[in-house]
Amino acid sequence: MTPPGADAAVGDALRHHTRPGTLQLAALPPLSLYVHLPWCLKKCPYCDFNSHERRGELPEAAYLDALRADLEATLPLVWGRRIVSVFIGGGTPSLFTPAGIERLIGDIRARLPLEPGVEITLEANPGTFERDRFRAYRAAGVTRLSVGVQSFDDGALKALGRVHDAAQARAAVEEARAAFDTFNIDLMYALPGQSLQALAADLDTALSFAPPHLSVYHLTLEPNTLFAVQPPQLPDDDTASDMLDLICERTAAQGLQRYEVSAFARPGHRCAHNLNYWQFGDYIGIGAGAHGKLSFAHRVIRQVRWREPAAYLAQASAGRAVSNETEVRRAELAFEFMLGALRLREGFEWAWFTERTGLPASSVRGRLDEALARGLIEFDAGGAVVRPTARGFDFLSDLQSMFLPPDSAPQGG
């Protein structure tokens, strides 16, 4: 049932989205679903995600009700479109009980057509690990687990403010390996005081579990975090570069392919959900602070949900979960596309660019030629595929910023 007051808002939105606009999209891209569960045990000092420390009992049932109302209010915008992937992120989604996750997946399946064999990922934290809990998530319908280990070193974990220790990290990954055919280990590098040898030990431990997928992120000091106010001593740029070289060498030796800047996978185990992001696919985003992107025949829009959990609970239950909606300007579409597509080792086909932005290839040809001259990209398959070179990967932010609209300040990914 659509929440009270939602029908009029949805009707207005549909009229706006279907009227003539600046674009002409011949086809709509694949559609994913992101679900944000915002609570965690403790806010990490480096984290700038919309996460909130749990205070008292988790309002699991009320939040699941709000998610269902949010999804129902969104359905008219995506009628007839099938979901290619589901990602349940946070926060720490594994704070929710397996029964709660089963209810969430059941609510999704009852309201959206899912592709057969759809990938359903759940993020999990070793600090919430209990024996057989991961198996219960598998039974609930989760097909892929992403374990936020960050490090297997007790000193590094303490420096990062993590709530788990190295023993819990190992136990959680072992359980994930036993319960899931596909699972991911999240690692971070360039940590406070970390040496190349310490990173090598972390990699050895991670690779000893033969993970189908490994995500490795450079620790960065983000604004509005504790680390931004009280910055730790981090390895210098040369050491960090040596660390990335070591990561690429060790993973390749173990049969993991670097298919995206921060992602390494065995054949058949790439993250379908993230691939859809990077290929400028569409995604519904439900939950506190969740972002979404939806394409229509004549425009591309971005939506943001209410950020604070209490506000989200109140607004979503009334059918007003979206706090902000903007149309992506025609001048911004090329940059939005390139921000993700150039993260991919294999690059992108020209057909994706025109199909998913509605822009002619000529709108970016000059900037691509400049990137080619600078050795940042190369063309393949008779010019039908554009992909970053090794140099382009090393200077990815510079490459991406070449596609910014003239009235924008430089930024990168």
* 323 phi, psi to nearest 5 deg: -90, -25
Q: Which of 143, 140, 67 is nearest to 102 (CA)?
A: 140
- 162, two tokens: 């993590």
Range in 148-157, 166-175, 187-196, 376-385 the model is least confident about: 376-385
Residue 91: asked if its preceding bond is cis (omega within 30°), the reply is yes
Give the contacts of 169 (CB within 8 A, at least 6 positions apart). Answer: 126, 147, 149, 151, 152, 157
pLDDT at 131: 74
- Which of the four pLDDT bands, split at 50, 70 and 90, describes residue 383? confident
pLDDT at 10: 56
Place of tokens 């993991």: 256
DSSP 118-178: EEEEEEE-GGG--TTHHHHHHHHT--EEEEEEE-S-HHHHHHTT-SS-HHHHHHHHHHHHH
pLDDT at 152: 96
Using CB atoms within 10 Å of the CB of residue 20, give its burial: 0 to 12 exposed, 13 to 18 middle, 19+ buried.
Answer: exposed
- Which of the four pLDDT bands, split at 50, 70 and 90, describes residue 410? very low
SS3 67: helix
Place of tokens 């699972």: 183
Q: Which of 125, 63, 128 is nearest to 100 (CA)?
A: 63
- Which of the four pLDDT bands, split at 50, 70 and 90, describes residue 55? confident
∠ CA(134), CA(135), CA(138), 5° rounding?
90
Share of the chain above pLDDT 70, in %: 91
pLDDT at 39 over 90: yes
- Say what the pTM is: 0.92
Give the mean model confidence (pLDDT) for residues 35-54: 81
Rounded to whole angstroms, the Cα distance separating 235 from 199 reads: 11
- Which of the four pLDDT bands, split at 50, 70 and 90, describes residue 103? very high
pLDDT at 226: 73
* Per-residue model confidence as pLDDT tens digits over 218-275: 988 777 767 767 777 888 999 999 999 999 999 999 999 999 999 999 999 999 999 9
Largest separation between any pair of C-alpha atoms in the chain: 60
- 392, two tokens: 């382009």
pLDDT at 5 over 70: no
pLDDT at 150: 93
Give the mean model confidence (pLDDT) for residues 352-365: 92
Rounded to whole angstroms, the Cα distance separating 122 from 130 reads: 15
pLDDT at 8 over 60: no
**Alpha-carbon distances, residue 124 vs 57, 89, 136 (angstroms):** 19, 9, 13
- Which of the four pLDDT bands, split at 50, 70 and 90, describes residue 26? confident
Give the mean model confidence (pLDDT) for residues 107-128: 94
pLDDT at 129: 65
pLDDT at 216 over 50: yes
Length of the chain counted residue by residue: 413
Beta strands (DSSP E) in 219-359 are 257-260, 263-265, 282-287, 291-296, 299-305, 322-327, 348-349
Rounded to whole angstroms, the Cα distance separating 384 from 328 reads: 26
∠ CA(329), CA(259), CA(368), 5° rounding?
45
Give the contacts of 346 (CB within 8 A, at least 6 positions apart). Answer: 259, 385, 387
- Find residue 32's DSSP bridge partners: 85, 283
Structural domains in the chain, sorted by start: 6-275 (3.20.20.70), 332-413 (1.10.10.10)
- 183, two tokens: 């699972």
Range in 18-22, 101-105, 378-382 the model is least confident about: 18-22
pLDDT at 412: 42
DSSP 172-210: HHHHHHHH-SEEEEEEEES-TT--HHHHHHHHHHHHHT-
Rounded to whole angstroms, the Cα distance separating 48 from 226 reads: 9
Rounded to whole angstroms, the Cα distance separating 242 from 252 reads: 15
**DSSP category for residue 329:** P
Rounded to whole angstroms, the Cα distance separating 200 from 333 reads: 40
- Which of the four pLDDT bands, split at 50, 70 and 90, describes residue 24? confident
Give the mean model confidence (pLDDT) for residues 361-372: 93
pLDDT at 22 over 60: yes
Range in 49-53, 67-71, 140-144, 390-394 the model is least confident about: 49-53
CB atoms within 10 A of CB 174: 13
* Per-residue model confidence as pLDDT tens digits over 175-198: 999 999 999 999 999 999 999 999
Strands 213-218 and 348-349 turn out to be: unpaired
Strands 52-53 and 39-40 turn out to be: parallel
Give the mean model confidence (pLDDT) for residues 43-60: 80
* Per-residue model confidence as pLDDT tens digits over 289-342: 999 999 999 999 999 999 999 999 999 999 999 999 999 999 999 999 999 999
- Whether the Cβ atoms of residue 246 and residue 216 lie closer than 8 Å to each other: no
pLDDT at 398 over 80: yes
